[in-house]
Amino acid sequence: MQLFIGGACAGKRDVVTARFPDAVWYRLAPEQRLDACQQTLLADTPLVITGVLEWLEAASGSMQNDAFREQWQRDMTGLYQRASQINAPLIIIAHEVGCGIVPMQPEQRRLRDLNGWFVQDATRQADQVWYVRHGLVQLIK
């Protein structure tokens, strides 16, 4: 699995499109579990998962932090294992948010926490992590 992370309009999609021109793209939908992506997996075809921040925001009201995190951790592990079985490279595009700025609104603080935990969990699973800024790409794991 590869994780591409960077801020808004940093060039993440362009970099991934150039590196994986034959990939299938999957946008996470609200109220959907992460493992729903498994339906889109094709043998020997990269799968790019986008929409993580919006997905986290939509789902954040439905579950407690720990339960939600445990669910996506299980889903991410299952998705990674299935993709490996069929030789389908898995790519996640995630946003870097906040830059250390803590918002006043509790829901915005929670969203930044959820996003940070998701990225940490994806980083643990990932074989490679790429940081994208201004279209420049740096391998950080």
Q: Tens digits of per-residue pLDDT, 86-139?
A: 999 999 999 998 777 777 888 888 899 999 999 999 999 999 999 999 999 999
Q: How far apart are CA 41 and CA 24, in angstroms?
A: 8
3-class SS at 108?
helix
Q: Residue 59's pLDDT band (boundaries 50, 70, 90)? A: confident
| Residues 132/9, Cβ–Cβ less than 8 Å | no
Structural domains in the chain, sorted by start: 2-127 (3.40.50.300)
- pTM value? 0.93
Extended strands (E) in the chain: 2-6, 24-27, 47-50, 90-95, 128-133, 136-139
Residue 51 has pLDDT above 80, yes or no: yes
CA angle at 58 for the pair 126 and 71, rounded to the nearest 5°: 45
Round the average pLDDT of the chain to a whole number and report it.
Answer: 93
Q: Provide the residue type at 113 as one letter.
A: D
